[in-house]
Amino acid sequence: MFDLIIRGGTVYDGAGRPGIQADVAVSGGRIAAVEPLPAARAARVIDARGKWVTPGFIDIHTHGAAGVDVNAATAAQLNGTIAHFFASQGTTGWLCSVLTDTPEQTLWCLDQAKAAMKEEGDWAQLLGVHLEGPFLASQYKGAMPEHLLQKGSAELFAKYEAAGEGAVKYMTVSPEVEGVPAMVRDIAARVKVAIGHSGAEYDAAMECIANGAVSATHTFNAMRLFHPHQPAIMGAVLESDVYCEAICDGRHLHPGSVRFLLKMKGYDRVIAITDSIMAAGLPDGNYKLGVNDVIVEEGDAKLKDGTRAGSTLTTGQAFR
């Protein structure tokens, strides 16, 4: 007797193989079997014929949804509003991305995330914190508040790390910012480091990768692009084995660019992210992203100067 059987769907296992027709049995919140189970009984049965059945999505880069911005979200809002909405869209785990902010506000965000991570409920489980900054390049800042950007500082990171008590899992830095390469070397054993928001030269990017950086933040976006004589950070990202985030909403990346990235990196090195803001799941209007005012028109989120500021994407839309 299983708790749940999802019957007759086309099961996608994420390994790049065509979907298979099967039943998915669940016990104790975990997958117990993926195979035809015609005679099996369950407390609950879902008819999935004609539908896809996929593992739950994990979003490692998002700034909010359903009217709540991560930088201003209480623990109750992180779980009860943002994560509850994410669960309705197929996400089962996520990292909350804290946009570059004051040290005081960043520490407050870490306190809220720690509290949220300790709770379980009918929402996507908060797995940790992604710090997007403050060690980022002003020229490629995107929606980052320039007056809050800083030089690389292992000491400041250590302060956030200690306050987070294990909550800080992921961090975005710019290789060309003073002090960043050395900082990456110092912290890479304790946190997953991504490079992005950057116009770094190839050698500087490669130095950070050699020092332990393992990922690239929203690849192609807020990043100096490839040139045959100056491959820059883009060339370093494509040549190396780092993971590549990608915002697959049809706005940040042309579908051909997504296919190109998948061919260059392989499916096991490309991570679909939403980079969503509080407007995800809501109509056009005026919203916030950290300290920024954001205008959403036809689902496209931008600052007043036209700079794109996150997205209104969901993981299900990104998968499709």
Q: Report pLDDT digits (tens) over 105-151.
A: 999 999 999 999 999 999 999 999 999 999 999 999 999 999 999 99
Report the C-alpha gap between 10 and 24 in whole angstroms.
Answer: 10
Q: Report pLDDT digits (tens) over 45-88.
A: 999 999 999 889 999 999 999 999 999 999 999 999 999 999 99
Q: Is 275 a catalytic residue?
A: yes
Which of 59, 69, 101, 275 is the catalytic position? 275
Q: Which two tokens stand for residue 83?
A: 């994560």
Among the listed residues 243, 144, 157, the one whose alpha carbon sits nearest the alpha carbon of residue 198: 144
Q: 6-11: which pairs have CB atoms within 8 A and are 24 or more residues apart?
A: 6/45, 6/46, 6/48, 6/53, 7/37, 7/45, 7/46, 7/47, 7/48, 7/49, 8/47, 8/48, 8/49, 9/48, 9/49, 9/51, 9/52, 9/53, 10/51, 10/52, 10/53, 11/52, 11/53, 11/54
> Is-above-0.95 flag for pTM?
no
Confidence of residue 12 (pLDDT cuts 50, 70, 90): confident
